[in-house]
Amino acid sequence: MTHKWACLLGQPLVHSLSPTLHNAAFAALGIDAHYEARPTAPADLASAVAALRASDCFGANVTAPHKRAVIDHLDDVSGKAVALGAVNTIVNEGGRLVGSNTDAAGLERWMREAQIDPAGQPVLVLGAGGAARAAVWALADLGASSVVVLNRTVEHAEDLVTSLRQRFPDVYLLWGKLDEATEPPRAPWRVVVNATSLGHEGSAPAVHPGCYSRDSVAIELAYNPPETLFMAAAKQAGARAENGTGMLLHQAALAFECWTGQAPPMAVYEAAAKQRVTP
Ligand SMILES: NC(=O)c1ccc[n+]([C@@H]2O[C@H](COP(=O)([O-])OP(=O)(O)OC[C@H]3O[C@@H](n4cnc5c(N)ncnc54)[C@H](OP(=O)(O)O)[C@@H]3O)[C@@H](O)[C@H]2O)c1
């Protein structure tokens, strides 16, 4: 059997957990393969993608800044990745490169596992970048009654909502400015997602304590540090708070399944992630 490989394309990649996770899963399942980080500048993206057509390559993950740009270099892209405007997984299907996005499905799978059910409930998403787009998709797909997207640059929130409205005609999708989260809401939210990049920068968007009740769940999409200021404030206001590790592991697991046809042992992923994420 040929030794196989997969890789991560992006830049910078020093903090990525993906090599640790996937190499641990290959070893645990006895798959003769390795996964490597390939730091890739925008000018080198075309040649880095072309290399994935090799017969011993499973495919790749894609991260910033290439998630959108990579679409032009692929043979096929899933409808969901097109709607999300981002590819995070490439599968080599006999030399054809097929792009997909596992972020939204990863978040959904983790939310089900963590018994966070937004069905029929109003939810709030802070941020309007790629992760926020995946979060809005996941929450709408899980049946949230309304999703409000608040962002520093309000045009980005408007663009996100406008582009996903057609997909979820039964969900009330609204946008506004990030500052609105500091105002007392009419009622607490069932779920509040922090999808701004403030979490991993040691900061947090300001959220009025009235946004939370004891039934609320605050989800920070950043996973390092394990407890962010956003999570601490939500707990202080009586809510349950979770970080983005679950989403990270499940989006990685879905990519691994696409490449190998096998589910990675989640306990192996969790142990590998714990070694790398610093409290
Ligand atoms: N757990 C996972 O699997 C997973 C996966 C992907 C991402 N993430 C996490 O999700 C977060 C967002 O990632 P992303 O890929 O969506 O990034 P992105 O596309 O660059 O979006 C960044 C978002 O943060 C906002 N923002 C940045 N600086 C801000 C500031 N100083 N004040 C207020 N808002 C600010 C941006 O607002 P503007 O539109 O105004 O610029 C934008 O909404 C990061 O913490 C990332 O680590 C987690």
Q: What is the pLDDT of residue 15?
A: 84
**Domains observed in the chain:** 4-101+249-276 (3.40.50.10860), 104-243 (3.40.50.720)
Reply yes or no on whether 67 is catalytic: yes
Query: What are the tens digits of pLDDT across the range 190-244?
Result: 999 999 999 988 999 999 999 999 999 999 999 988 999 999 999 999 999 999 9
Please give the average per-residue pLDDT across 117-138, as a whole number. 97
Q: What does the DSSP 8-state code read for residue 51?
A: G
Please give the average per-residue pLDDT across 138-156, as a whole number. 98
CA 221 to ligand 1 centroid distance, Å: 9
Residues with CB under 6 A from ligand 1: 103, 127-132, 151-153, 156, 178, 195-200, 221-223, 244, 247-248, 251
Please report how the helices 18-29 and 266-276 are oriented relative to each other, as an axis angle in degrees rounded to 10.
140
Q: What is the pLDDT of residue 278?
A: 57
* pTM confidence score: 0.95
Q: Which amino acid is at 55?
A: S
Q: What is the pLDDT of residue 200?
A: 85
Q: What share of the chain is helix, strand, coil (3-state, %, to 5)?
A: 40, 20, 35
Query: What are the tens digits of pLDDT across the range 169-189?
Result: 999 999 999 999 999 999 999
Query: What are the tens digits of pLDDT across the range 43-75?
Result: 999 999 999 999 999 999 999 999 999 999 999
